[in-house]
Chain A
């Protein structure tokens, strides 16, 4: 086992842990609290060349891959310390085409509040405003963990205002990026009126990133190969400023944030050239809620707001900030197949969501979203409708239709493929067999548009899909799910079988879940088509998966 990745501060952490266990004196207020969580995935790979689940080390000879995260936290007399052990064994989470193995302390931190001053050192997760200029967070399914290894100080100015300053380097798996990141923010709160039903929560922040020498040298080397008119003078320091406010007045809530980033080096849309420019983001969200009606309107305009630790990083690596997603999160399988990944270089997006509860039994939801690039090229459009009818304690029916336009060329880096348009009716029926037993059915059918390809009408992407699911729940412990995603009308990108015809492939899935208190176990047999997995607009191209998946999550 390779111990070289465990940082020396871990010995300091254990020293603290041991010293606290000795000085704990049993006083209820000073009682030490020990908590933690465990999350682990184990994948057994079964080769399936037809769906493309092959040709990676895991499918060829490793046959097993897994990840685990074990978090331990200790609180005592205002001190919080924690450490997290991360382990990757032949994992395809970080690079879907490769195999990654490493283990060590993925995170440690020490936090203490001294009167109004808060001190944190170690790996820090935090954000400024909605994250537009700075967000350090973790998203395990995307293999994203951009915690800041450094120090953070917060200071409470009175009851309603808080200032925060931080500096450090961003985590890069078990190492750090060499560029230095520092920031400062101020957040406040104020209420007006006698009843205090109008409140504002303003704030402002600034983040600076200083490029390290090695990364700058690589930029300079590349610039020297550019034509003279494309060479620019690269900058080491980039500053991003943002100002934001949340206004709450009676039934209305209005959030607005504007951000500006000074000149920064980033890749062009093709990814083959560096550009240098400043950037802006303006984002706003307005919502209204009264009795059974809820309306939310959102708009965002982004220009040149790619903010990374170094310009050479690609995809989801080395990102310093987070731009809010402009589309709804769909939970049904076929409805969630196509997602709009946040475009950092240029995007204009709108979203409107209306919910209305007609009676206690009947409610409806309509959502419309539209995203284009700065040249008005359509990237994504969605019209989502949903009606829910409940017969309390007996059954519940959810049904609706979703229409989508999806620019696969931009989102999935597939040059030349046409726009995908879908029409997907869906329904979910939940039937309570008894107080503890329930049965749930899901059905979706996705119609995809077609275009003329050499005299033949060929459906775009994978073509039409049908999805069916049956789930049996035995509360409080067991859930059994059986589902199938069937490529009923294969399209341009569907694989061809041995006879040269487009294959209509089934992608079945069988899951067993067991929940006991705060522990959850799952065992699944999965055949999954290649697609995109997104969380908050940050996406990852997920290759086809064929095999058995086991996962355990536990909190203690």
Chain B
């Protein structure tokens, strides 16, 4: 019995040790970047629908994450899947063919709201689709990565509503993927239309980051890599009359292709 107590005593003393907790500070991740440093930016592709009652909570979470990360995080809301069919009273149908193709391309989700971060299958996950509570952590993880690609995006929309854009891509190190690609996405924000919410159907819900079109093929266009040289891609696109050019965002995504679809870098341009 005495031996037993001597054995147990150090165990109890051990629990008197304190741990230093992590810092749950508010604000953006990490120190301010150097002036010429290439900063890693992240794309979150959310799948949503006007009939999806829980999706406004997902959109709200994305707005909050954008307010934390500023211009290092870009979002696309893709209306596809079982909840995306418009109501009879809906003004618009936000479903586009490229969006439906992207849902199938990135993987069917288990439930909504759901989003894909950097088109990665993270450790411990079996597919790309992530539930709302997981987005913050994985976005932070991606933002902490060292950038391997630099994108310079320039463009304008002329009076004839023709968008011309130039993407200058520099691979800071040779790409490991055999066929890196570029995808160019146009989104429009603040479109007022019907949306199902937990409080009922809302007639003038402000839809943000709605995927309007993918200028390149939905799964990207091959981009060449030559050591020491930039790859330059030029695009033109006719903006339809119904779109509000002031709310458009052009997003350039450089990503891998094949079984690994990981996004390497993102850049965006507004007008």
Contact = CB atoms under 8 A, between A and B. Distances in A.
B109 to A, nearest CB: 10
Interface stretch (B136-144, B147-155, B246-254, B258-266): B136-144
A220 B64 contact: no
B68 A225 contact: yes
Given A218-B134, A221-B138, 11 more contacts: A98-B126, A172-B124, A186-B8, A219-B137, A220-B23, A221-B141, A224-B26, A224-B136, A225-B136, A236-B21, A236-B22
A339 B27 CA distance: 46
B9 interface: no
A161 interface: yes
Nearest to B107: A98
Contact of A239 (B15, B21, B137, B138): B15
A218 to B, nearest CB: 3
Interface string A346-364: 0000000000000000000
A267 B131 CA distance: 13
B4 A157 contact: yes
A100 B68 CA distance: 37
A365 interface: no
B4 A217 contact: no
B143 to A, nearest CB: 9
B19 A236 contact: yes
B19 A220 contact: no
8 contacts: A98-B127, A172-B124, A186-B4, A216-B22, A221-B137, A222-B133, A224-B68, A312-B124
A235 B11 CA distance: 20
Given A221-B137, A221-B141, A222-B133, A184 B11 contact: yes
Nearest to A186: B4
Interface string B101-142: 000000000100000000000011011000011101111110
Contact of A234 (B7, B21, B25): B21
A124 to B, nearest CB: 20
Contacts of B136: 221-222, 224-225
A222 B131 CA distance: 12
B138 A237 contact: no
Contacts of B3: 157
A71 B61 CA distance: 48
Interface in B14-46: 15, 19, 21-26
Interface in B140-196: 140-141
Interface residues of B, number: 31
Contacts of B15: 239
A272 B58 CA distance: 11
B141 A223 contact: no
B65 interface: yes
Contacts of A312: 124, 134, 137
Interface of B: 3-4, 7-8, 11, 15, 19, 21-26, 61, 64-65, 68, 110, 123-124, 126-127, 132-134, 136-141
Nearest to A236: B19
Contacts of A97: 110
Contacts, number: 74
A220 B133 contact: no
A225 B123 CA distance: 22
B64 to A, nearest CB: 6
Contact of B24 (A186, A233, A239, A267): A233
Nearest to A184: B11
A181 to B, nearest CB: 15
Interface of A: 95, 97-98, 100, 157, 161, 163, 172, 184, 186, 206, 214, 216-225, 231, 233-237, 239, 267, 271-274, 312
Contacts of B134: 218, 222, 312
A373 B22 CA distance: 33
Contacts of A222: 133-134, 136-137
A101 to B, nearest CB: 12
Nearest to B18: A237
A225 B61 contact: yes
Given A218-B141, A272-B132, A272-B133, A234 B64 contact: no
A267 B64 CA distance: 21
A172 to B, nearest CB: 8
A439 B51 CA distance: 55
Contacts of B25: 224
B17 to A, nearest CB: 9
Nearest to A165: B11
Given A218-B141, A221-B139, A237-B19, A231 B133 contact: no
Contacts of B19: 235-237
A233 to B, nearest CB: 5
A285 B61 CA distance: 47
A221 B140 contact: yes
Contacts of B7: 163
A97 B110 CA distance: 8
B59 to A, nearest CB: 14
Given A206-B11, A225-B64, A236-B19, A220 B24 contact: yes
A153 to B, nearest CB: 12
B136 to A, nearest CB: 4
A223 B19 CA distance: 19
A100 B125 CA distance: 12
A95 B126 CA distance: 9
Nearest to A223: B24
A273 B21 contact: no
B26 A234 contact: no
Nearest to A55: B108
Contacts of B23: 220
Nearest to B7: A163
Contact of A218 (B8, B21, B138): B138
A234 B137 contact: no
A267 B126 CA distance: 20
A222 B141 CA distance: 11
Given A163-B7, A186-B4, A235 B21 contact: yes
Nearest to A163: B7
A172 B124 CA distance: 9
B126 A217 contact: no
B104 to A, nearest CB: 13
Contacts of B65: 225
A235 B127 CA distance: 29
A206 B15 CA distance: 11
B137 A218 contact: yes
B25 to A, nearest CB: 8
Contacts of B133: 222, 267, 271-274
For the complex of A and B, the 8 pairs showing the least CB-CB separation, nearest first, are A218-B137, A221-B140, A221-B137, A221-B136, A222-B136, A233-B21, A225-B136, A223-B24
Nearest to B139: A221
B68 A217 contact: no
Nearest to A177: B124
Given A157-B3, A224-B68, A239-B15, A231 B24 contact: yes
A233 B20 CA distance: 10
Contacts of A273: 133
A133 to B, nearest CB: 14
B4 A161 contact: yes
